[in-house]
Amino acid sequence: MTLTFDPRNHGESEGVPRRYENPLAKIADISAAIDFLLTLTEVNVHQVSAIGICQGVNWVIEAARLDPRIKAIGLVAGHYLTPEVARMYLGGAAQVQDRVERSKAAEAKFKQTGEVSYIPIVSASFEKPESNVLLAAPFIQSFYHRWADRHALLAHRGLWENRIATMSEHLIWGHRIELSMTELHLPVLMDHADLAASGKDIPHKLFETIPSAKKQLVWLGGQGQIQFYEDPITIDMVIPFVTDFLSRNT
């Protein structure tokens, strides 16, 4: 059995502020999902595993570190939140600091007034790209832009919104997942590729720091991040590795 869900404040789940990326809440939601699963008679408490994709790898890692009910994890095309990755995405240390300071100011304003400020995830225009966005790379914009179209005939795309609470950014770019990875002692599968999020070198470095006696790195080749989302060939390559590893280690 597999459970997928929208974390609080996102998509079809309730909670405010909307589109607020709160790591502690996401970690708690994973444990709450396990609480639910274990109410089902067909779920074995000794065979619970978790899979994280893109930025989701960070919250799966943190949840696995804190919740002993998670027996193994799979990390697929991870956008690992480390200082090195933040500098790579935003263009340097100065840009990271600017984003962090803006985010903390937005958080202070929210605490004082209850007002939530937002920035776009990607630019709304291809012709005139905005600089005030979370993810500026053109190929990322091309992927996410279509999900922002909320036409009634495109309801099957879900309730994704092209915005994020500004006060989220310091919690994203300031996260230090590399510290938590040194505390992973359960079985860990890392699945990545040359052009996936976090680049080619960082995932290799992070994998080496995992102390688990049961860990496996699967490197597909030249695939890019978006292929892990929608390319059937890439997805069909990943699934057997994930299912085999988790079935053998839970």
Q: How far apart are CA 107 and CA 114, in angstroms?
A: 9
The pLDDT of residue 159 is 76
Residues of the chain with pLDDT under 70: 126-129
Q: How far apart are CA 222 and CA 238, in angstroms?
A: 14
214-224 pLDDT tens trace = 999 999 999 99
Are the C-beta atoms of residues 216 and 184 closer than 8 Å to each other? Answer: no
24-37 pLDDT tens trace = 999 999 999 999 99
Q: What share of the chain has pLDDT > 90, as a percent?
A: 82
The pLDDT of residue 121 is 92
Q: How far apart are CA 19 and CA 52, in angstroms?
A: 19
Q: Looking at 17-116, which runs of residues are DSSP E strands?
A: 49-53, 72-76
Are the C-beta atoms of residues 132 and 124 closer than 8 Å to each other? Answer: no
The pLDDT of residue 240 is 97
Q: How far apart are CA 24 and CA 175, in angstroms?
A: 11
